[in-house]
Structure 1
């Protein structure tokens, strides 16, 4: 990606994914495609599907990543998560950055769908840059039990940027996953 500065929170969040070149990735709330570009730079054989509620954001993300779209490795869809369906086991990594629905209300339906969409050995990464460090604990306290209730063992990763008091990413992996 040239000519575009990537916010540290996005670089950090994408770094938590531990991507392999052939991963199939779903991004929830792709915005204008900055994280998608970082992910696609790491995928040589894999693919990215990205969703966002905003038609404007999806159009900008598709434009920003037009080479990957043209190559058939990226797909950007204007859709709400709760209205989206993918076959079970479709993705190796699923992630979101600053998507509040997971901690501002009961996300059991959405997390259940994400759990089904994960391939064996896959992981779910829900990342935030809250406005203050106290919110990091609040997010973990709200989201980790919901992930556990959906069959995902939750691990909290934390980090900092030069401008924020804290970053948090809850990583969920299937309880009975042999990997």
Structure 2
């Protein structure tokens, strides 16, 4: 394996589970890269007043900060598998954490440490690619959502006009069927913004 390939493998692994100083850098880079689709996802949550919201794969905490800064009295919990990014999110949101508007939890989507029917909305941005088991993950999301709660899963499915066949197949042959098998209703794909040439979509559903 040459040096270039080895370095690329390190970077790819960091996107899946950021660690250390390089992981902190990757976390901040992802905030800059994903800002358009992050703001779009938050807008499509259609939050009302005093909602309890969960972000799966909260990264360095940019989206959490946006929601906690709204005038809706929302309580937001961020879940992430990376302890490095949990630390970054804590620094970014220290005031909101002190005020108990944000809570950060280290953990995995397929085994979440939350009680049933806890959240009115669950969202995830560019995290689903790394979930090991879609069924277990969505089973957990369904469990922690309140009846009538909604889920938004944001991801990219193409670049510069070219559709990514593998992602499209994952959405329509795996993700949507899994959600429907768990009795999510109104499951559909919503077209989102183009960000850095990447086409954004979201898969949404209601418990």
TM exceeding 0.5: yes
User: Conserved in 2, the CA contact under 8 Å of 1:36 and 1:50?
Assistant: yes
CA pair 134-19 structure 1, distance change in 2 beyond 3 A: same
Deviation at 1:21, TM superposition (A): 2.9
User: Conserved in 1, the CA contact under 8 Å of 2:39 and 2:63?
Assistant: yes
What is the CA deviation profile of residues 52-111 of structure 1, one whole-angstrom value per residue up to 9, with x for unaligned ones? 111110011111111110001110111122232311110000010011347x76411111
CA distance in 2, matches of 1:105, 1:82: 8
2:106 is aligned, of 78, 91, 95, to 78
Q: Which deviates more, 31-40 or 128-137?
A: 128-137
2:96 is aligned, of 62, 65, 68, to 68
The corresponding residue for 1:107 is 134
The corresponding residue for 1:137 is 168
Moved over 6 A (4+): none
Task: Point out the structure with max Rg over C-alpha.
Answer: 2
CA pair 116-162 structure 1, distance change in 2 beyond 3 A: closer
Q: Which runs of 5+ in 2 are unaligned?
A: 1-30
CA pair 92-156 structure 1, distance change in 2 beyond 3 A: same
Spell out the pairing of 1:5-84 with structure 2 (5 A cutoff): 7-42=35-70, 44-84=72-112
Q: TM-score, normalised by structure 2?
A: 0.74
Aligned-residue Cα RMSD (Å) equals 2.1
Greater helix share, structure number = 2
Q: Which runs of 5+ in 1 are unaligned?
A: 175-179
2:200 equivalent to 1:171: no
CA pair 144-73 structure 1, distance change in 2 beyond 3 A: same
Q: TM-score, normalised by structure 1?
A: 0.85
How many residues are paired up? Answer: 170
